[in-house]
Amino acid sequence: MLTIRNLSATVQDTPVLKGISLEVKAGEVHAIMGPNGSGKSTLGKVLAGHPSYEVTEGEAIFQGKNLFDMEADERARQGLFLGFQYPIEVPGVSNSQFLRMAYNKRAEALGQDELDPLEFQDFIHTKTSLVGMNESFLDRSVNEGFSGGEKKRNEILQMAVLNPVLAILDETDSGLDIDALRIVGSAITQLRRSDNATILITHYQRLLDHVTPDFVHVLQGGRIIKSGGPELAVRLEKEGYDWLLEEINL
Amino acid sequence: MVTSLAPRFPAVELKAGASPIWRTLQRQDQEVWSSMAFPTLKDEDWKYFDLSPLRDVTYVLPSDQRAPLSLQIEPSALRLYWNQGCLQIPTSLPKGIILRPLDPKKRLSSKLDQDYFFRMNQAFFSEVYELRIQQSFESKDPIYLENILQGSDDQVSLAFSRLHIVVESGVKVQIVNRFRGSNAYHLISAISFKIQNEALVDLERLQYDSAQSFHFSYLQAHIGRGAHLGVRTVGQGSRLRRDVPHIHLEEASTVELDGLCLLKDQQLADTHSFIHHAHPHARSRQLHKCIVQDRSKAIFNGQILVALNAQQTDAQQQSRNLVLGDHASIDTKPQLEIYADDVKCSHGATIGQLDPDELFYLQSRGFSESSAKGLLTFAFASDLLGHIRVPILQKTLKQEMIEQLHVHTLGELS
């Protein structure tokens, strides 16, 4: 589904990704961990097409197409989703209007029928219950006045609506209390299917208690320095990154 | 070098039947105005406002060809029309409304008298009416003041409109002052308010002037004790536009003065506001937003004067500006003069562009770059549009803004 080969990228001429290779197959969940500044969030933004980053080497093939040949919006319509660490607010545009517009753009790309407001109302109902969101949030402006946790839930709601092929969730667990974490974790698990895949970018094991990854990768200095199974995340949670950094130096 | 417009200005005669006092006053105004110098960039008040497009203008008086009136669907308590600046007297008026020639003694004198174009309005306007909204007025629908201008193709029609409004104590009223025009004209409009104690007035000023027009508008409001005035001005037409609101606050009165300018091409819009906190316990809120595209330019000069005895004044002013064109520009200047010592006054001015991270967020949800820009621009203006108190107008304005921004995706918003 996604094949990243030797990906390097810079921001304002500073190298931030230095040769990343990663294979994500349909049905898989990958967790990307690593200390602050290791390049985790950057990887998500580069894959989603943030204009501040320049790809200097390598490629990313997503469903047979080179991601870097597409603008960010085209990648989204092709089924790539980035859940933001800091979602933005869009005053004056209600959440349901926004979701429906985004849904229809994706539907158009898939050759499916667009939904009118009434049809969308029925459709969205099943999705808000998935993320445990009060429907009053649909009438409010996108993320305006939402708490940190509510914004993150809203990201998962968008993911549920857009039904992406590949979702990259950038620190979706940060800012969530224990209950919200459980709900978000369970929503991600329920959205998991054999024909889609998820990349979880996270600092902590705690989200992985709710969503069991197939693979865990550790990013450091813009490179993947270790890959393993779920047990790797458990060990990192217990022992931190020092042992791993020592192991690499040896 | 233009020193005065007077020599190439068509003569305007007072209407037959105007009172002798008005004739005398007008003759005096004409004399004063003729001796005033045409403003230049060297004048502090005109520092950023390039009047050169007016220089080669040939003025004509508007033909009295009737402008076609479009069918209005909004429910209204009263609808008055100014055709080419000339008030069409209605055959009947609703309960609680009086429309009559203004008593010259009630003419407000203010520092606006020093303004070249305001004085020009005074000097050449031929009939001044007073609209009185009495305590017996009880409609919940707005009063519409509709100005219709039909300019000419190769010359500039010159039109003046003027009205004095008295809102009696305790009256609650919504007023919509709308301007529509075509071709080239120069309109100098002046409206003054005497808002008596405890009255509540909402004023929506919607300026749909033509792209070739010049529109200079003056708003004077005297807000009585405990009274409230909320003003929203939305301007989007006009080659040159200047808006000069002057607000005088009595004790414990409040004003909300909002303005939105959406400019493109070579448009130039200038808002020179003056809020006078003359007495204690009054509150003012000013939010001014400008969006400049292409090579357009917006100017904001917001003066707030807090007099020595205006203790417990609460004044806030915000100037927020969005620059979308590489050659567009903004000049903004808050000007607070505070002489009282126990007051709460704040001001802020920002000039910015669309945030790349915000654009990226929308693009990552499938919106093209241009619709993402339009959506964020709409979001920038939306709080101000949300302040408009007449729901049908709020909806229309939002829809028009969407069309202006060429964001067809947003067509689904309404």
Q: So what's the ipTM on this one?
A: 0.96
Strand partners, A7: A20
C-alpha A84 chain-centroid distance = 7
Q: Do A90 and B383 touch (CB under 8 A)?
A: no
* B375-379 long-range Cβ contacts below 8 angstroms, 24+ apart: B375/A90, B375/A93, B375/B407, B375/B409, B375/B410, B376/A90, B377/B291, B377/B322, B377/B324, B377/B405, B378/A92, B378/A93, B378/B402, B378/B405, B378/B407, B378/B410, B378/B413, B379/A90, B379/A91, B379/A92, B379/A93
Mean pLDDT of A93-103: 92
**Is A158 in the B-facing interface, judged by CB distances under 8 Å?**
yes
**Which chain A residues contact residue B383 at CB under 8 A?**
91-92
pLDDT at position A205 is: 87
Q: Do B364 and A97 touch (CB under 8 A)?
A: no
The chain B residue lying nearest A116, using CA atoms, is: B412
pLDDT at position B59 is: 84
- Determine the distance in angstroms separating the CA of A210 from the nearest CA of chain B, rounded to an integer: 26
The chain A residue lying nearest B367, using CA atoms, is: A73
Query: Cα–Cα–Cα angle for A211, A213, A216, nearest 5°?
Result: 135
pLDDT at position B9 is: 63
Q: Do B366 and A81 touch (CB under 8 A)?
A: no
Query: In the numeric block, which tokens belong to residue B233?
Result: 């001005």
Summarised one tens digit per residue, pLDDT across range B343-397 is 999 999 999 999 999 999 999 999 999 889 999 999 999 999 999 999 999 999 9
Summarised one tens digit per residue, pLDDT across range A114-143 is 999 899 999 999 899 988 889 999 999 999
The chain A residue lying nearest B360, using CA atoms, is: A50
- Contact (CB, 8 A) for B279 and B311: no
Minimum-distance CB partner of A105 among B357, B366, B386: B366
SS (H, E, C) A128-139: HHHCCCCCHHHH
- Determine the distance in angstroms separating the CA of A26 from the nearest CA of chain B, rounded to an integer: 21
**Which chain B residues contact residue A88 at CB under 8 A?**
355, 357-358, 361
- Contact (CB, 8 A) for B235 and B207: yes
CB atoms within 10 A of CB B1: 5
- Which of B287, B320, B360, B405 should be substituted to probe chain A, the one whose Cβ sees the most A Cβ atoms within 10 Å? B360
Cβ-Cβ contacts under 8 Å between A and B: the total is: 84
Domain ranges of chain B: 6-250, 355-414
C-alpha distances (whole Å) from B400 to each of A88, B378, B387, B395 are: 25, 11, 16, 9
Strands A14-24 and B314-323, how do they pair? Answer: unpaired
The torsion angle over the Cα atoms of residues B61, B65, B68 and B72, rounded to 10 degrees, is 60
**Is A163 in the B-facing interface, judged by CB distances under 8 Å?**
no
CA distance B177 to B217: 11
Q: Which residue has the tokens 């967020």?
A: B361
**Which chain A residues contact residue B367 at CB under 8 A?**
73, 101-102, 105
Mean pLDDT of A142-152: 93
Query: In the numeric block, which tokens belong to residue B323?
Result: 């620059």
Answer left, alpha or beta for residue B281, where phi above 0 means left and psi between -120 and 50 means alpha. left
Minimum-distance CB partner of A91 among B355, B383, B412: B383
The chain A residue lying nearest B380, using CA atoms, is: A91
Q: Do B360 and A72 touch (CB under 8 A)?
A: yes
Minimum-distance CB partner of B379 among A75, A91, A109: A91
- Residues of B engaging A, defined by a Cβ cutoff of 8 Å: 355-369, 372, 375-376, 378-383, 385-386, 398, 409-410, 412-413
Helices A117-130 and A95-110: crossing angle in degrees, nearest 10, is: 100
pLDDT at position B412 is: 45
Longest dimension (CA), chain B: 70
Strands, sheet with A53-62, edge to edge from the N-terminal-most edge strand: A14-24, A2-11, A53-62, A65-66
The H helix count followed by the E strand count for chain A is 9, 12
The chain B residue lying nearest A85, using CA atoms, is: B361
**Is A112 in the B-facing interface, judged by CB distances under 8 Å?**
no
Query: In the numeric block, which tokens belong to residue A185?
Result: 């974790």
CATH class of A2-249: alpha beta
Q: Do B356 and A51 touch (CB under 8 A)?
A: yes
pLDDT at position B207 is: 95
- Contact (CB, 8 A) for B405 and B281: no
Q: Do B367 and A92 touch (CB under 8 A)?
A: no
Q: Is the pLDDT of residue A59 over 50?
A: yes
Q: Do A102 and B366 touch (CB under 8 A)?
A: yes
Contacts of B4 (CB under 8 A, 6+ apart): B34, B36, B37, B38
pLDDT at position A32 is: 96
Q: Do B367 and A105 touch (CB under 8 A)?
A: yes
C-alpha distances (whole Å) from B322 to each of A43, A194, B49, B410 are: 31, 46, 19, 19
CB atoms within 10 A of CB B254: 18
**Is A49 in the B-facing interface, judged by CB distances under 8 Å?**
yes
Minimum-distance CB partner of B363 among A52, A71, A91: A71
- Contact (CB, 8 A) for B135 and B70: no
User: Would you give the end-to-end CA distance of chain A in angstroms?
Assistant: 34
CA distance B42 to A142: 46
Query: In the numeric block, which tokens belong to residue B339?
Result: 């002489």
- Determine the distance in angstroms separating the CA of A44 from the nearest CA of chain B, rounded to an integer: 11
Query: Of all helices (H) and strands (E), which one includes residue B177?
Result: strand B172-182
Q: Do B381 and A102 touch (CB under 8 A)?
A: no
CA distance A226 to A231: 12
- Contact (CB, 8 A) for A199 and A23: no
- Which of B260, B354, B365, B395 should be substituted to probe chain A, the one whose Cβ sees the most A Cβ atoms within 10 Å? B365
Strand partners, B219: B191, B245
| B195-231: b (≥16 Cβ within 10 Å) or e | bbbbbbbbbbbbbbbbbbbbbbbbbbbbbbbbbbbbb
- Determine the distance in angstroms separating the CA of A250 from the nearest CA of chain B, rounded to an integer: 40
Contacts of A55 (CB under 8 A, 6+ apart): A7, A8, A9, A46, A68
Residue A151 has phi, psi (to 5 degrees) of -65, -40
* Cα dihedral B371, B377, B383, B386 sign: negative
- Determine the distance in angstroms separating the CA of A239 from the nearest CA of chain B, rounded to an integer: 35
The chain A residue lying nearest B395, using CA atoms, is: A92
Please list the ranges in chain B whose pLDDT falls under 70. Answer: 1-18, 64-72, 108, 126, 406-414
Q: Do A73 and B372 touch (CB under 8 A)?
A: yes
The torsion angle over the Cα atoms of residues A93, A94, A98 and A100, rounded to 10 degrees, is -140
Q: Do A106 and B366 touch (CB under 8 A)?
A: yes
Domain ranges of chain A: 2-249
Q: Do A90 and B360 touch (CB under 8 A)?
A: no
- Determine the distance in angstroms separating the CA of A246 from the nearest CA of chain B, rounded to an integer: 36
Single out the residue of B163, B161, B162, B164 nearest to residue B186, CA to CA.
B161
The chain B residue lying nearest A161, using CA atoms, is: B365
**Is A90 in the B-facing interface, judged by CB distances under 8 Å?**
yes
Decide: residue A247, CB within 10 A, 0-12 exposed, 13-18 middle, 19+ buried: exposed
Report chain A's mean pLDDT, rounded to a whole number.
93
